[in-house]
Amino acid sequence: MTYPHPILAKEGWPFIGISVALALAVAVFGSIAWSIPFWLIAVFVVQFFRDPGRPVPQGAKDVLSPADGRIVVVEPVDDPYLKRPALKISVFMNVFNVHSNRSPVDGDVQQRWYNPGAFVNAALDKASTENERNALWIKTRDGQDVTCVQVAGLIARRILCYVDAGAKLARGERYGFIRFGSRVDLYLPPGSRAMVTVGDKVSATATVLAELP
């Protein structure tokens, strides 16, 4: 699958434009020295909104990472959306990670849930139930159910999701974005086998998180 998006996320262009324009204005009407902090801010904004293409593993049962970051949870739980036992795997994104969110599997979106909430540290497990979040129920081509949840973080203030019930997703396909620090939770069917452990660093699409039963 060819990644259809530019190396910088479309969501970032207004922020990039404003930060670069401000740095230029300070350099022109002030001094180069005064503009240095503003150029550093502009560089940070550019790196935050980078959105590189990634290789897409094609294992039929592979569950791909929906985000860049660090694994903070791998444990059996009850899926709060589908009301069933599940294997939960959570990826925490800090402000230096790519924040584009991508589909972990090939499948059809059955339902979407949005819950407003708080903005506690996304590295904490209670963020899964207390923070603002957007959940997708995806049914794979062979009938497995996967719940993929975008969770806002301590300084994240905008969850963006571009699909709804009825959408078809291909593994690695970009479907959303979270601005400035957050996490993504996956709830996988019983019998799924985790391929990562807590503390592992993962890359969206390129890292296989688990294998479906």
> Which residue, among 213, 140, 148, has the nearest Cα to 183 in the 3D structure?
148
Tell me which H or E stretch contains 117.
none
Among 18-22, 39-43, 62-66, the range with the most confident prediction by mean pLDDT is: 62-66
Task: Determine which one of 90, 103, 128, 182 is catalytic.
Answer: 182
Distances (CA, A) of 152 to 70, 119, 179, 184: 16, 6, 8, 9
Average pLDDT of span 97-104:
89
Q: What share of the chain has pLDDT > 70, as a percent?
A: 87
pTM of this structure = 0.82
Are residues 142 and 200 in contact, defined by beta-carbon separation less than 8 angstroms? no
Identify the CATH number of the domain defined by range 62-211: 2.70.70.10
| Beta-carbon contacts of residue 10 (< 8 Å; ≥ 6 apart) | none
Are residues 208 and 195 in contact, defined by beta-carbon separation less than 8 angstroms? yes
Q: Write down the pLDDT at residue 120.
A: 54
Q: At residue 12, does pLDDT exceed 80?
A: no
Reported as a pLDDT band with limits 50, 70 and 90, residue 8 is confident
184: helix, strand or coil? strand
Question: pLDDT, tens digit, for every residue of 105-152?
Answer: 999 999 999 988 655 554 556 556 667 889 999 999 999 999 999 988
Average pLDDT of span 171-189:
88
Q: Is 182 a catalytic residue?
A: yes
Tell me which H or E stretch contains 183.
strand 182-188
- Left (φ > 0), alpha (ψ -120 to 50) or beta: where does 120 sit? beta
Q: Write down the pLDDT at residue 1.
A: 39
Q: At residue 41, does pLDDT exceed 50?
A: yes
Average of per-residue pLDDT values in the chain: 87
Lowest mean pLDDT among 23-32, 63-72, 161-170: 23-32
Q: Which residue has the higher pLDDT, 90 or 182?
A: 90
- Burial class (CB within 10 angstroms; exposed 0-12, middle 13-18, buried 19+) of 162: exposed
Are residues 183 and 69 in contact, defined by beta-carbon separation less than 8 angstroms? yes
